[in-house]
Amino acid sequence: MDDRRTTIRIRRYFDACRMPGFASLALFCLLCLYGPLIMMAIFSFNESRSVTRFQGFSLSWYLQAGNNPYIQDAALLSIKLAVGATLVATIAATMAALATTRCKPFKGYTFVYAIINQPLMVPEIVIAVAILALFSLIKKLTGIQSFGYLLLAHSMFCIPFAYMPIRARLENMDLSFEQAAADLYAGPWQVFRRVTLPLLMPGILAGAMLAFVVSLDDVIISLLVAGPGETTLPVFMLGQLRRGFTPEINAISTVLIGVSSVIILPALLLTMKKR
């Protein structure tokens, strides 16, 4: 009993929230993270073209961006690309998660785990350059120009983002349900379809949402790999910034933040949900 009280006292003593200045430091970090986003959102409603002086509330920049045919085409392409990459990445990540959690540990297991999560450890620009070199060689040998190159590049990059929540869900699942189904003479496919998949669905949905957001917001891979006429919305915004910063870019960015937040919040709730 005394040891337990001592442990509790030590934990309270080393509680970071009770350290002097912790609240001020946390507030400063939040301001650095979200202050620029808040200012950007505020100036997206600015009536004038100024991005430094607010002169009145207006929705004109949102209407202008929504009626811009180039923005419409770029947004539709980004959504199409994100949906396709999400489907491919989620299926591949689910298969990889099952292979690395529903099998006995083997020699080289750590290496396989590192390979799956390699895009998280290597700078994105390096991955983009490597993919560009590979696809350039394939295009030269085959002469095929296709949207599939960009789709495949996004899918490859999104796999680890979908893999992590799916794997976490599998590790937290109770194996007794699958074992009971096997004892009742259910085949491997029946066990997966009727037991594993329903229990795994929150992790799959969370992984798919993360993959969608990562693909939707990607710039570097899209900029290097995209072919003619394959301008995604982030790449379009980057090109517009080179011509001059306007509240129209603020409006598009605010919409993207809103869409990403709406998708990410359910993904976090599904990830935190244990059962």
Prediction pTM value? 0.82
Residues 232 and 99 in one domain: yes
Task: Identify the pLDDT of residue 81.
Answer: 94
Residue 149 has pLDDT above 80, yes or no: yes
pLDDT digits (tens, 9 = 90+) for 172-198: 887 777 778 877 777 778 888 888 888
Specify if 225 maps to a domain: yes
Q: Domain range spanning residue 10?
A: 2-33
Task: Identify the pLDDT of residue 116.
Answer: 83
Specify if 44 maps to a domain: no
Q: Assign residue 21 a region: left if phi > 0, alpha if psi is -120 to 50, beta otherwise?
A: left
Residues 66 and 26 in one domain: no
Give me the residue label for tokens 């095929």: 144
Residues 29 and 127 in one domain: no
3-state secondary structure of 46: strand
The answer to whether 151 touches 211, Cβ cutoff 8 Å, is no
State the pLDDT confidence band at 275, using cuts at 50, 70 and 90. very low
Of 211 and 107, which is predicted with more confidence? 211
pLDDT digits (tens, 9 = 90+) for 196-206: 888 888 889 88
Residues 10 and 112 in one domain: no
Specify if 127 maps to a domain: yes
Say how many domains are in the chain. Answer: 2
Residue 156 has pLDDT above 60, yes or no: yes
Residues 8 and 92 in one domain: no
Residues 79 and 17 in one domain: no
The answer to whether 230 touches 150, Cβ cutoff 8 Å, is yes
Q: Which of 207, 194, 221, 225 is nearest to 263 (CA)?
A: 207
Specify if 90 maps to a domain: yes
Ranking 10-19, 50-59, 221-230, 254-263 by mean pLDDT, the lowest is 10-19
Residues 143 and 218 in one domain: yes
User: Hey, CA dihedral for 152, 158, 164, 167, is it positive or negative?
Assistant: negative
Mean local confidence (pLDDT), 151-171: 90
